């Protein structure tokens, strides 16, 4: 923690970076995102198992980008990111939303985070993304802190749920999702926290013609949740922020994870893992499978 604070203070004092997007402890088992521009404030920065937010969502915000612009040059932006958040940053760079040279990534050797604030860190309260996580060490970083520790063991319930759903009939699955989507209140929190939902104007906000009905009745909820899952398919890095932010507890990870499985199975692609490869849906291969088409 001391290293992290010293490192960021130094960078801020030297004027190499405009701001640090980081975490601040607000109570024993809760942190919140904070944007530090003053070197004296660097002492508030923390990193622990309660750093749940995916801070990559701030990188595409116009107000944050404006912080970096000075009269004669563009300053870097520092971000403290868990290894899984680095996947989101990589995806943003792949999609040309940010440049690698503009970002200073401060990452950590991560051994998992809790599923929600206020939970004690152990195998029962591990966030579902951490159970199957394979990147305890970030793939890309400029500075790394923390020691390598072992992740607590837990069972992969999300995958079991997907397999269970896939063994059902179409009608049963439809009824299941109808029940889940029925609770949706169209608050768009899932959209707000997603680092990859960066469209300046979302399709749901377009009123003429209104493609996705805005009132939260079953029909509109279906369209919204299908479109959200589709727009993120093969792009979602699986940070799970949408499900955590959802006030209605809709299992959005099921959809995202199912699409990630499809990307891996059909195209051997995992989103946000390499800066060198183009995104899956942004590119094509003439040799792609043609079996879908008559």
Partner 1 sequence: MDKQKWEPKIVAFVCNWCTYTGADLAGTSRMKYPANTKMIRVMCSGSIDPVFILKAFERGADGVLISGCHPNDCHYNAGNFHARRRWDFFHELLDFIGIEKGRLQFSWISASEGKKFADVISKVTKDIKALGPFTDYQKMNSEFTAFFPEETAEDHEVLNKVEEIV
Q: Please, what's the b/e burial string for 203-240 (b: 16 or more CB within 10 A of its CB; e: otherwise)?
A: ebeeeeeeebeeebeeebbbbbbeebbebbbbbbbbbb
Report, in Å, the least distance between residue 270 CB and partner 1: 14
The verdict on 207 binding partner 1 (CB under 8 A) reads no
The verdict on 177 binding partner 1 (CB under 8 A) reads yes
For residue 46, list its beta bridge partners: 23
Beta strands 45-46 and 30-36 are: unpaired
Number of residues that bind partner 1 (CB under 8 A): 44
Cα 81 from Cα 102, distance rounded (Å): 15
The verdict on 135 binding partner 1 (CB under 8 A) reads no
The verdict on 215 binding partner 1 (CB under 8 A) reads yes
Report, in Å, the least distance between residue 132 CB and partner 1: 19
Contact 272, 88 (CB under 8 A): yes
Cα 270 from Cα 279, distance rounded (Å): 9
DSSP, collapsed to helix, strand or coil, labels residue 254 as helix
Stretch of 45-53, 134-142, 209-217, 239-247 contacting partner 1, by CB under 8 A: 209-217
Report, in Å, the least distance between residue 209 CB and partner 1: 9
The verdict on 250 binding partner 1 (CB under 8 A) reads no
- By the criterion CB under 8 A, which residues form the site for partner 1? 165-166, 170-178, 203, 211-212, 215, 217-219, 222-223, 226-227, 229-230, 233-234, 255, 258-259, 262-263, 266-267, 280-281, 284-286, 288-290, 292-294
């Amino acid at each position: 923690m001391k290293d992290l604070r010293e490192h960021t203070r130094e960078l801020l004092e030297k004027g190499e970076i405009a701001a640090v997007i980081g975490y601040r402890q607000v109570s024993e088992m809760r942190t919140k995102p904070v944007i530090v521009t003053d070197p004296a404030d660097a002492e508030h920065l923390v990193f622990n198992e309660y750093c749940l937010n995916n801070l990559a969502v701030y990188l595409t915000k116009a107000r944050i980008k404006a912080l970096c612009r000075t009269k004669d040059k563009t300053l870097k932006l520092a971000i403290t990111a868990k290894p899984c958040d680095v996947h989101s940053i990589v995806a943003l760079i792949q999609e040309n939303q940010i440049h690698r040279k503009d970002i200073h990534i401060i990452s950590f050797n991560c051994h998992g985070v809790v599923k929600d604030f206020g939970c004690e860190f152990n195998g029962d309260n591990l966030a579902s993304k951490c159970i199957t996580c394979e990147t305890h060490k970030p793939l890309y970083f400029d500075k790394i802190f923390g020691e390598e520790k072992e992740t607590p063991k837990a069972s992969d319930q999300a995958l079991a749920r997907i397999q269970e759903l896939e063994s059902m009939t179409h009608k049963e699955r439809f009824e299941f999702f109808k029940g889940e989507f029925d609770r949706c209140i169209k608050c768009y929190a899932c959209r707000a926290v997603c680092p990859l939902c960066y469209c300046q104007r979302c399709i749901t906000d377009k009123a003429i013609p209104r493609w996705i009905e805005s009132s939260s009745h079953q029909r509109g909820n279906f369209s919204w949740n299908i479109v959200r899952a589709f727009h993120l398919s093969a792009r979602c890095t699986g940070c799970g922020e949408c499900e955590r932010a959802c006030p209605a507890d809709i299992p959005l990870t099921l959809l995202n994870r199912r699409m990630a499985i499809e990307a891996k199975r059909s195209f051997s692609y995992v989103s946000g893992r390499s800066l060198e490869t183009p995104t899956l849906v942004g590119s094509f291969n003439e040799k792609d499978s043609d079996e879908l088409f008559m």
